Structure 1
Amino acid sequence: MQKHVMSAFALAVVSLGAQAQSSLTVYGVADAGLVLEHGGEAGSVQKVSSGVGSSSRLGFKGREDLGDGTVLTFVLENGYSIDTGAAKQNGALFGRQALLCLSGAAGALSIGHQYTPFYKTLNNVADPFTTGLAGNAQNVFDDTTRVDNTVEYITPRVAGFSADVQYGFGESAGDRAKNRYIGASATYEQGPLTVVLAHQQRDNASATAHSRNTMLVGRYKFGDITGHLAHARNRDVYGNESHDSLAGFTVQLSGANHLIASYIDHHDSTTAQKHARQAALGFTHGLSRRTDLYAAYGHIRNSNGALFRVGTAADSGSGTTGINLGVRHVF
C-alpha cells in the first residue's frame, strides 16, 4: 500500500513539474474608432469602425519547455470586428494566425498559416504607422500579409545578422509551382540601426507567371526620434514594374505621446504612368500601459487613373482622404 501511495505521489510531482514548464496565454486587441473617408466614387463615408490602429483580435498562445533548450509554442489567433461582432478573414476561426513552432539554439521552425517575411519587415521596421491608421503603408505597398500552408525557418541572431525563410505550398495536384509562395528576409540589427532586405514571389494558379517584390528597409533611432526609409521594386504577373518609396519618422514626446508621419511615392514604370503619392500624420496618447487614444490623417493623390485608397489596419478604405479618431486596448 505504501508503495502505491509513494508512486502516486511521485507521479503527481512529475505532473506538477510538467505543468510548471507549460503555459497558456490569452491575449488580444480591442480597437474601435470613428473613420471619415472622402474622395471615393460613391461619395463621402462616415462610420464606426473596428481595427483602425491595430486589427481587433483574440488569440491563444501556448508554450511547453521540452528540455535541452527546446521549446514548443503554438499560436491560434482570431480576427473580429468590434463594431458588429462579426469574424474577419472571411469568417475563418483562426484567420489571423494558426501555427506550431519548435525553437532552440539552432533557430525556430514553424508550420501553419503565418505572416510573410515581407509583411513583417514592412510592419515591424519600415512603416512608422505599423500598417495601421490612415497612414498605413499597405495603402500603397504590397498587401500580402499572411499565407496558408507555410513552413518557415528563422535563424538565430549572430553578430547582429539573422534570416527568415518561408515556403508556402500551393497544394495543387500535378504541379507544385501552382499557387506557390516563396519569401525571405535578411536582417542586420546593431544598436540604433536596423537594415532589412526582403523578397517574395507568388506563382499564379496555372504556374505560368509570378509576381515578385523586393524591398530594402532602414531604420535608425536618434534618441527620441526614429527615422524610417524603405524602397520596394515590384513586378506583377503581367510583367509590369513599379517602385514604392517611403520616408517617415516617429517622435516620442513628453509622457506617453507619439507623433508619427510618413510620405510614400508610388512610381509606375509602365506607359500608363499611374503614379500616386501618400502623405500621412498621426498622434497617439497613452492613457495607460495597455490603452491609448489615436488620431490620424492620410491623403493619396492618384495620377492617370491610379486607384489607391486610404484605409486602416483592418479596412482597405473607399476614398483618397481618411481621418481617424479612436481608442485601442491591448490585453
Structure 2
Amino acid sequence: MNRGKLNGVAGTTGALCAVVLLGNVMAPDAHAQNSVTLYGVVDAGVTYTSNAGGSNQYALTSGNMGANRWGLRGSEDLGGGLSTIFTLESGFTIANGKFGQNGTFFGRQAFVGLSGSWGAVTLGRQYASSSQFVGPLASGSSWAAPGMGYGTHPADLDNLNSTNRINNSIKFASANYNGLTFGGLYSLGGVAGDFSRNQIYSLAIGYTQGPVKLALGYLNVRNPNYSFWGNKANDSTTASNITSPVIAGYASANTQQVIAAGTSYAIGSATLGAVYSNVRFSGLGATPVAGLSSTAAAYRGSATFNNGELNAKYQVSPALLVGAAFDYMKGNGAGQGGVIYRQFNLGADYFLSKATDFYAVAVFQNASGVDSRGVRAVAAITGATPSTSSSQTVVTAGIRHLF
C-alpha cells in the first residue's frame, strides 16, 4: 500500500489542516514525533442482490472489497528501543459521504500506546485479538468482499471480519518469536457496582513457518447486544442492535463466546485453507432488550453455532488473484430447528498497480430449518438486506484505490 507522509502531502485540505493545528495547540511537543502518516482506502462498485427484502436490487455500494477509510498513524522514538504509537481511523460511505460505524467519527480504530522489542501495549477502541489472528485465514476477511462483509460467515457472528470493534480496551500484541506470535485484549465494562457487566476479553496465538500458517483465538463478550453490537455513536441503549435474522433472536444473551481456529498451506501459486468456529450465546433472557418478539423474549438457556469453511486462492499472475470457498454452518438451541446455512464465495482481483485494483465477487447462500427468531430460516448474506426466501445471491464489481 502506498502511503504519504503527512508533512509532505501537497494541497492538504482545510479539514486536515484543522486537525494538525489542533494537535499542535494541545500537544506543543508534537514536533518531536518521528513520523505521522496519512493513509486510506477509497472503494466503490455496483452490486446486484437477487432478493433484497423480496425484490431484485441494483445499487451503487461503497467499500465492497476494502471498507472506505482515512486515518492517521504515528510514532515517536523515545530511545532505548521504546516508541509511542497511535492510530486514529475513520470510516465513511463514498456514495453519500456519511460516517461509517453508525455515525462514529473514529469508529474503525482509535488508540495510543507503547511499543518495543517485546511487542506493544495499546489503549482505546481496537480489534479483538481473535479477529486479527484467525480472520485473515477466512475468505470473507481477505478476497471475498471483506469491506461490505458479503463473504463472511453468516452475520459475521464469529467476528472474524471484525464487524465489531471493542471500546475501552487494553491490548497486548507480542513481538515475533521465530514465527510465533500471541496477544490478548481486555475491555472494562465501566458499570458501577457490576464489574462483569459489558466486559470483553480475547486471547489469540499464531504460528507461521514457511508455507504453513496456524491460528487459534478466543473471545468472550458479556451483554453483547450493548457492549459489542451496540457500542457505536447512534446505537440503541435499550433495544436490539443485532439485525441479522441469523442471530437476532439472541439479543438478550448474557454472554457471546467464540472459539475459532484456522490454517493455510501454500503450494506454489496456490493456497489452501480451512477455518472452524464455535459460537455460543448463553444466559438467554439475562439482558433486558426492548422490542424483542414474544418468542425471542421467552428464550432461556443457550444456542450454539458450529461453522466450517474450506477455501482456496490462486495467484494466476502477479496482477491477478482468484479464489473460491465453501462455508457450512449449523445452529442448535433455543428457538432453532437445526438451522443450516450453506454459502459459496467466488472472487477475482486484478491489480493495475500496487495501489489500484478491479474486483468481482459472487456470493450464494442457502438456508434451511428454523432460525433464531423461531420462524422458517431465510438466506441473509452479511452486508445485504435479508432475503424473503431460502436463497440469495450477491454479485459485486468495482474499483479500489489505496493511499
Q: TM-score, normalised by structure 1?
A: 0.88
Check conservation: 2:199, 2:222, Cα contact below 8 A.
Answer: yes
Write out aligned runs for 1:1-331 (5 A).
22-127=34-139, 129-130=141-142, 131-132=146-147, 136-142=151-157, 143=159, 144-204=163-223, 209-237=254-282, 238=284, 239-270=302-333, 272-304=337-369, 305-311=376-382, 315-319=383-387, 320-331=392-403
263 and 195 in structure 1: CA distance in 2 versus 1, 3 angstrom threshold: same
Separation (CA, whole Å) in 2 of partners of 1:279 and 1:20:
51
Separation (CA, whole Å) in 2 of partners of 1:85 and 1:106:
40
Percentage of pairs with the same residue: 28
The one-letter code of the counterpart of 1:325 is A
Check conservation: 2:379, 2:386, Cα contact below 8 A.
Answer: no
Residue 255 (structure 1) shift: 3.6
Check conservation: 2:137, 2:275, Cα contact below 8 A.
Answer: no
100 and 42 in structure 1: CA distance in 2 versus 1, 3 angstrom threshold: same
Q: TM-score, normalised by structure 2?
A: 0.73
**Structure ID, larger Rg:** 1
279 and 258 in structure 1: CA distance in 2 versus 1, 3 angstrom threshold: same
> SS state of the match for residue 39, structure 1?
strand
CA RMSD of aligned residues (A): 2.1
Separation (CA, whole Å) in 2 of partners of 1:317 and 1:273:
23
Separation (CA, whole Å) in 2 of partners of 1:135 and 1:93:
24
Separation (CA, whole Å) in 2 of partners of 1:286 and 1:231:
30
Q: Deviations over 1:169-218 (max 9, x none)?
A: 11111111101111110111111111111010111169983110101110
The one-letter code of the counterpart of 1:289 is K
Separation (CA, whole Å) in 2 of partners of 1:47 and 1:121:
33
Separation (CA, whole Å) in 2 of partners of 1:209 and 1:66:
43
Q: Deviations over 1:24-70 (max 9, x none)?
A: 10000000000111123331211001011110001111111111111
20 and 260 in structure 1: CA distance in 2 versus 1, 3 angstrom threshold: farther
Check conservation: 2:323, 2:347, Cα contact below 8 A.
Answer: yes
Residue 321 (structure 1) shift: 1.0
Separation (CA, whole Å) in 1 of partners of 2:153 and 2:96:
24
The one-letter code of the counterpart of 1:306 is A
- More strand, by proportion: 1
The one-letter code of the counterpart of 1:324 is T
Q: Deviations over 1:277-312 (max 9, x none)?
A: 00010001111110000011101001023345224x
Partner of 1:13: none
Separation (CA, whole Å) in 2 of partners of 1:307 and 1:124:
28
Gaps of 5+ in 2: 1-29, 228-251, 285-301, 370-375
